[in-house]
Structure 1
């Protein structure tokens, strides 16, 4: 793990930019150590330095957590293949024209999830070797990726999902295998996320403890108080 920069923020929070091989990431650690770790994944296309992602990570770290995010292959600022760019353009055209996009999402998002998982697992292995991180591990963010990680990675003890974006068929089936404590955030008026599909996915999760928080507003309108509720959720299961 190579640290390219670091700086101290308010409340003795340390922010570090790092690379693990060709994986770029950011790690926030509180002054207290060792701290439980939360992996914070963005939806495909949103770079790790996006302002709302960074703000959420810093607020979460202020609750006493180490928080890490990365740009996985094909996501954020990492290079994209010509096929990826063509698929994105085709998807945008179909959405603007009001055409059905399920098959396009399936062919595009499914491979993104599969390609992202190894980078996240490599990152997790590396971060858990640091003395300032003590586990256990939580996950917060992109639902499709989070489902896959929760299924394959036993060190993840609790998950918080944002019900936005497309969830491939494979992950909708895998949702039944998830038994971890789960917090599911839904924007009731999300223009890019059919409400009933999100409710059906919540129903499919196999967790005995699962909580749905629904708020009015569009895709990026999740209230900031949900970060506080998320902190309480992770406190119950990671501390």
Structure 2
């Protein structure tokens, strides 16, 4: 891991850009006022591979870091500014065409989000290995983000993840819907009741499928980007219970 820049932000958080081979990432850590003890790590991903620099993700990351966590996000394979395959570009073009025409889009989502999860998960595990090797960062590890499909895959395959917070705001491929039954970590699931681009019933069915004994659903009125700010505070309290015990 090679750090390429660092910036002390006005909330006391240290923001550092890094590269790990071909993987670019950002690490946010709390300021010195948090003490010298190692802090838990939260992996934070945005919906279906949007860039780590997305303003909403950065705001969530800074808030969470200020609460005493190391927070990391990466642009995994096919995400952010990293190159996409010809098949991915074709699928995205077909998705835009189908949405304009009002045609069904689930099979198009399946054709590129499924492979994107398969390609992205190894990059996140590589980043996790490197991050836990840094001084001042320790397990247990949490996952937070709108890319629920990726979070499901990591929660099932990565035993170091001890708790997960998902936003029900993106398409979840069939493979991850089946894997949801194997998710057993404590889970906080956020649903926007009036999400204009996602099925409410599909999100409720996914929540029902999770195998976790402790799982909580928070549903709020409003559209896709209308998640209330207080849910971020509740999410930090959720991680406090499971990562700071």
TM range (shorter): over 0.9
Determine the structure 2 residue equivalent to 1:71.
75
8 Å CA contact retained: 1:137, 1:157: yes
Structure 1 length-normalised TM: 0.98
Between 80-89 and 152-161, report the one with greater CA deviation: 80-89
Q: Find out whether 1:190 has 2:157 as its counterpart.
A: no
Determine the structure 1 residue equivalent to 2:224.
219
Determine the structure 2 residue equivalent to 1:29.
29
Q: Find out whether 1:14 has 2:19 as its counterpart.
A: no
Deviations 1:134-193 (A, max 9, x none): 111000011000000000000000000000111001100110011110000000111111
The 5-angstrom pairing of residues 128-167 of structure 1 reads 128-141=132-145, 142-167=147-172
List, as ranges, runs of 4+ consecutive aligned residues in structure 1 with deviation greater than 2 Å. Answer: none
1:173 to 178, 187, 202: 178
Q: Which runs of 5+ in 1 are unaligned?
A: none
Q: What is the aligned residue count?
A: 239
Report the RMSD for the aligned CA atoms in angstroms.
0.9
Whole-angstrom CA distance in 2 between matches of 1:197 and 1:84:
24
Determine the structure 1 residue equivalent to 2:125.
121
Structure 2 length-normalised TM: 0.95
Determine the structure 2 residue equivalent to 1:209.
214
8 Å CA contact retained: 1:44, 1:76: no
Deviations 1:58-78 (A, max 9, x none): 011111000000001111111
8 Å CA contact retained: 1:47, 1:75: yes
1:58 to 55, 62, 69: 62
SS in 2 for 1:67: strand
8 Å CA contact retained: 1:159, 1:182: yes
8 Å CA contact retained: 1:188, 1:218: yes
Q: Find out whether 1:86 has 2:86 as its counterpart.
A: no
Q: CA deviation at 1:214?
A: 0.6
Whole-angstrom CA distance in 1 between matches of 2:194 and 2:81:
29
Between 42-51 and 156-165, report the one with greater CA deviation: 42-51
8 Å CA contact retained: 2:192, 2:227: yes
